[in-house]
Structure 1
């Protein structure tokens, strides 16, 4: 299942992940505990493992040493707290990926929705809340940027008051999310500059930006001050981040560390191994530089 469709449903809806059943004979055992170096704050996107019951998944995260989980809402947080798993990227406000802040006709509803959700995030002890530009639908990029900035500026005071950071995700419009507007680092950085608040950042998705522009390490070096969060994924295919794909994640992680980044890096690949927890363990180990 593509995340676009998953996000488009209610956060409380029960959605099954259709995962590839490829067997990897070399997959390591997943039951063993993992000792991590502590340089990278590891997280994982829940939707990629939606087929695993939440409590079982949380137990696995404890075994693997993963301290956080992305893309969860208020209905998930009590159980996550039980297992000591932090909500590193919250969701639940807005209309999903395709309908976002570039459409002024949605601003009143978006402002009301985010104004209600931001305090919930803060009260739960969390910081990051995702948002989206929306699709172009024939709109010029400059106009869309102006519209996003005008709408988002209206909720920055409440975000700043509660210490919540709105993070707009950079997504590719070539393969997964046709027509999505916030599809390059340059556009996203200009939006950050237009808003002018430390409570608005970009969620830099490495998989998506490899498709759109490449030059991952240079862009991290040049724009890191605007990036508040990172997602992984193997390209092509958005599967495991090992040597089956073209990105070399140890070097990317070292580049992120070199910027002084203290936030979270979340695994967002769709596992193809039968043992999906073993695939997750491998991904975290690769990134644990």
Structure 2
């Protein structure tokens, strides 16, 4: 499943918010499981158990023991819903993970081009995302530099991207917020500028800001470069956020080739206290598929 489809499905998964009707899950306090790491589901992942209401979905996640939540589409949700979701997360002990900070250029260059108008557009999105982050108590926001500019050498493109990210960091630093750069794989997202962990590491070192770090998506990097644990170690100092998906299929752990028990054990051994976003689909439909996701995380977290 492509990231653009995750954004679309997140909108569909949110459903309509029913006002004035007591939530089925938001006030419950039973805890079904305690996880070692902070895995973050997204809206729609448990809708067959919790219903379409985002507040009920958050409550169900909390009841299952999940201590974090991510929402690619949070920036586009109406302010009242953002506020209700933030209130529920605060009440239920859920930490807000990433949301996508800007419109992503999937098929034409923006940041890599060095175009002044596109840079201004990007920086305006970053400014607007500061307000969203504060409203929902988020620290991290996802940034994808967009498509390659095939008419420019890679060195020039990199310099353009670095300059844009430096200016964005200057906006974020006073607020203690962090944009996390996500390398994406060549198979799902051909032609994008940022693809590998070493490239992301190089860019973060060049930007040299606490507000510019790496989002290491295990699914993307398994396809793009493999050698997961070694590459995590190599760029560990710049990793601020992690996302999950097994390969092939981009479904929950245990459905593909990645040994998630070992990967999570290694991440835990490094003292990681951040969020691991569950940016994947369910391998099976309906309630049984949702139960399978929960059981898969219990299994791979038992190291």
Q: Taking structure 2 as the reference length, what is the TM-score of the superposition? A: 0.80
Which secondary structure state, in structure 2, belongs to the residue aligned with residue 89 of structure 1? Answer: coil
Matched, 1:112 2:124: yes
Deviation string 1:123-159 (CA, Å, 9 cap, x unpaired) is 5422001111101141443322211110111121221
Deviation string 1:171-216 (CA, Å, 9 cap, x unpaired) is 101x211111211111111100110011111110001000010000
- What's 1:101 paired with? 111
Consecutive unaligned residues of structure 1, counting only runs of 5 or more, are 18-31
Q: Distance in 2 between matches of 1:82 and 1:195?
A: 34
- What's 1:4 paired with? 4
C-alpha contact 1:170 1:188 (8 A) present in aligned 2: yes
Q: Distance in 2 between matches of 1:4 and 1:140?
A: 27
**TM-aligned CA deviation for residue 166 of structure 1:** 0.6
- What's 1:35 paired with? 33
**Paired residues, what number?**
268
- What's 2:226 paired with? 214
- What's 2:43 paired with? 46
Which secondary structure state, in structure 2, belongs to the residue aligned with residue 113 of structure 1? Answer: helix
- What's 1:268 paired with? 279
Consecutive unaligned residues of structure 2, counting only runs of 5 or more, are 15-29
Q: Distance in 1 between matches of 2:209 and 2:47?
A: 34
Moved more, 80-89 or 216-225: 80-89
RMSD, aligned CA: 2.5
- What's 2:26 paired with? none
**TM-aligned CA deviation for residue 6 of structure 1:** 4.7
**TM-aligned CA deviation for residue 64 of structure 1:** 1.0
Q: Taking structure 1 as the reference length, what is the TM-score of the superposition? A: 0.83
Which secondary structure state, in structure 1, belongs to the residue aligned with residue 158 of structure 2? Answer: helix
- What's 2:246 paired with? 234
User: Residues 14-25 of structure 1: matches in 2 within 5 Å?
Assistant: 14-15=11-12
- What's 2:22 paired with? none
**TM-aligned CA deviation for residue 101 of structure 1:** 2.6
Deviation string 1:16-63 (CA, Å, 9 cap, x unpaired) is 69xxxxxxxxxxxxxx952214x3112123365688622342232022
C-alpha contact 1:165 1:200 (8 A) present in aligned 2: yes
Moved more, 63-72 or 219-228: 63-72
Matched, 1:155 2:153: no
Which secondary structure state, in structure 1, belongs to the residue aligned with residue 112 of structure 2? Answer: coil
**TM-aligned CA deviation for residue 283 of structure 1:** 3.4
Instruction: Call closer, same or farther: CA 1:187–1:279 in 2, change over 3 Å.
Output: same
- What's 1:55 paired with? 55
**TM-aligned CA deviation for residue 163 of structure 1:** 0.4
Q: Distance in 2 between matches of 1:142 and 1:252?
A: 33
- What's 2:182 paired with? 169
- What's 2:198 paired with? 186
Higher helix share: 2
Report runs of 4+ in structure 1 exceeding 6 Å deviation. Answer: none
